Amino acid sequence: MTKSDIKGFSNRLKSMLKVDARRMFKSPLVYIMFGICLLVPVLILVMTSFMGTTTTVDPATGAEQTMEGFKNVWQIIGSVGNGGMAMDLTTMCNINLVFFAVAIFVCIFVSEDFRSGYAKNLFTVRSKRMEYVASKIIICFAASVIMLLLFFVGGMIGGAIAGLPFTMEGFNAGGIVCSMLAKMFVLLIFISIALTFACFSKQKLWLSILLVLGCGMLLFMTIPMMTPLNAGILHVVMCLAGGVLFSIGLAFVSKLILNKTSLV
């Protein structure tokens, strides 16, 4: 007998994880995403520090609009307090961009299974869809955490190049750690939403990206509130609970979609 024991959910999940891990790290996509996550914060910080503060005048109303650049390195990671619903440069162009990158990454990664036809091989030998969904969430979460950390590292490098101060005002190192942890768990929400849309759209990558960006826009504004720089353990726990609940709930929805719809 050449086959190992693939009975039982955990064994099947293990073999599915092996497939996904191999594919993910053989694919150039993941390295492109890693590169983007490392480079984007450097570019943002360096370019905005060169521009400085810009003021524009609305010709119709004569009102002045000031776009302030980054004054502190940590602004690329988050903002202090509840963050509110501010729509300035520092709250829009920070680490939270990773959430969109992750959503798009998940859509491409899942859609590739269907576009390449590999789904035929996968689902012919696997009647249970849950291991597919669970494996995708786990492996995409692992890649997303790396992307988040790379953005963090890129932010630090960019800050150093741009000569921005590393001073912490209103928060401390523990707050940054909690903020990063909270962001990691919020990633689970984005991953599971993207996975559900990707399972629904299958070969239609454009549809899954459209759906996930639309949905992501709605959730994007809540991220600064959930993961401020002065976050505490409560933020982490709440984000963990939210992330886990979302991923379990949406995993069942994705499984249902795969069970009830055609896979080719």
Q: Contact region for other proteins (CB under 8 A) — 2-10, 37-45, 197-205, 225-233?
A: 2-10
Strands 54-57, 64-67: pairing is: antiparallel
Q: How far is the CB of 173 from other proteins (least distance, A)?
A: 41
| Tokens (6 digits) for 162 | 């741009």
Contact flag: residue 28 with other proteins (CB under 8 A) = yes
The single residue among 46, 67, 122, 244 that binds other proteins, judged by CB under 8 A, is: 122
Q: How far is the CB of 98 from other proteins (least distance, A)?
A: 24
At residue 64, the 3 state secondary structure works out as: strand
Burial (Cβ within 10 Å: 0-12, 13-18, ≥19) of residue 10: exposed
Binder to other proteins among 10, 55, 61, 124 (CB under 8 A)?
124
Interface residue with other proteins among 117, 163, 170, 249 (CB under 8 A) is 117
CB of 203 to other proteins, least distance (A): 12
Residue 4: Cβ within 10 Å count? 9
- Residue from 11, 56, 65, 172 that binds other proteins (CB under 8 A)? 11
CA distance 174 to 115: 44
Residue 166 makes contact with other proteins by CB under 8 A: no
Q: Are 33 and 15 in contact (CB under 8 A)?
A: no
